[in-house]
Structure 1
Amino acid sequence: MHVVIMGCGRVGASLATALQRLDHTVAVVDKNALAFHRLGRDFHGRQITGNGFDRDVLIEAGIEKAAAFAAVSNGDNSNIVAARVARETFGVEHVVARIYDPKRAEVYQRLGIPTVATVPWTTDRFLRMLLPEGVATAWREPSGTVAVLQLPLHEGWVGCKVTELEEATGSRVAFIMRFGNGILPTPKTVIQADDTVYVAALSGTVTDVTESARQAPEESH
Structure 2
Amino acid sequence: MNILILGAGRVGASVAESLVSEKNDITVIDTDPARLRDLQDRMDLRGVTGNGIQPSVLEAAGARDADMLIACAPSDETNLVACKVAHAVFGIPTRIARLRSPEFEQESPLLGTEGFAVDAVICPEESVTRTIRQLIEYPEALQVLQFAEGEVSLIAVRAVQGAPLVRHTMAELPTLVPQCEMRVVALYRKDGGGSEQRLACEGSTRIEAGDEVFVLTATVHIRRVLDGLSRRSAPIKRVMIAGGGRVGLRLAREIQGECRLKLIDTDLARCEYLTTQLNSASLVLHGDVTDEELLEREQVEETDLFLALTSDDEDNIMACLLAKRMGARRVLALINRRAYADLVQGTTIDIALSPAQAVIGELLAYVRRGDVQAVHSLRRGAAEALEAVARGDRKTSKVVGRRIEEIALPKGAQIGAIVRTIKDAQTDRRVIIPHHDTVIEQDDHVIVFVPRKRMMREVEKLFQVGATFFF
Q: Which residue number in structure 1 is paired with residue 266 of structure 2? A: 31
Determine if contact 2:308/2:334 at 8 Å carries over to the other structure: yes
Q: CA deviation at 1:113?
A: 1.7
CA 1:8–1:144: 2 relative to 1, 3 Å: same
Determine if contact 2:369/2:460 at 8 Å carries over to the other structure: no
Deviation string, structure 1 residues 111-160 (Cα, Å, up to 9, x no partner):
35212211121232344578789436432114211110012323433342
Q: Which residue number in structure 2 is paired with residue 191 of structure 1? A: 440
Aligned length, in residue pairs: 214
- The share of aligned pairs that are identical, in percent, is 22
Provide the rounded CA distance (Å) in 1 between the counterparts of 2:370 and 2:267.
Answer: 43
1:153 counterpart = 2:402 = no
Q: CA deviation at 1:205?
A: 4.5
Q: CA deviation at 1:6?
A: 0.5
1:213 counterpart = 2:450 = no
Provide the rounded CA distance (Å) in 2 between the counterparts of 1:47 and 1:161.
Answer: 57
Structure 2: runs of 5+ lacking an equivalent: 1-236, 422-428, 467-471
Q: CA deviation at 1:56?
A: 1.8
Q: Which residue number in structure 2 is paired with residue 6 of structure 1? A: 242
Q: Which amino acid aligns with 2:464?
A: R
CA 1:146–1:137: 2 relative to 1, 3 Å: farther
Normalised by the size of structure 2, how large is the TM-score?
0.40
Provide the rounded CA distance (Å) in 2 between the counterparts of 1:115 and 1:194.
Answer: 36
1:108 counterpart = 2:357 = no
Determine if contact 1:5/1:28 at 8 Å carries over to the other structure: yes
Provide the rounded CA distance (Å) in 2 between the counterparts of 1:167 and 1:60.
Answer: 55
Runs (4+) of structure 1 exceeding 6 A deviation are 129-133
1:74 counterpart = 2:324 = no
Provide the rounded CA distance (Å) in 2 between the counterparts of 1:136 and 1:146.
Answer: 17
CA 1:139–1:50: 2 relative to 1, 3 Å: same
1:17 counterpart = 2:17 = no
Greater Rg by CA:
2
Q: CA deviation at 1:75?
A: 1.7
Q: Secondary structure at the match of 1:41?
A: helix
Provide the rounded CA distance (Å) in 2 between the counterparts of 1:40 and 1:132.
Answer: 47
Structure 1: runs of 5+ lacking an equivalent: 217-221
Normalised by the size of structure 1, how large is the TM-score?
0.78
1:164 counterpart = 2:406 = yes
1:98 counterpart = 2:334 = yes
User: How much is the aligned-residue C-alpha RMSD, in angstroms?
Assistant: 3.1
1:173 counterpart = 2:443 = no
Q: Secondary structure at the match of 2:447?
A: strand
Which is worse superposed, 168-177 or 24-33?
Answer: 168-177
Query: Could you tell me which of 453, 459, 463 is aligned with 1:203?
Result: 453
Provide the rounded CA distance (Å) in 2 between the counterparts of 1:13 and 1:100.
Answer: 18
CA 1:194–1:126: 2 relative to 1, 3 Å: closer
Deviation string, structure 1 residues 4-25 (Cα, Å, up to 9, x no partner):
00111111111112211x3422
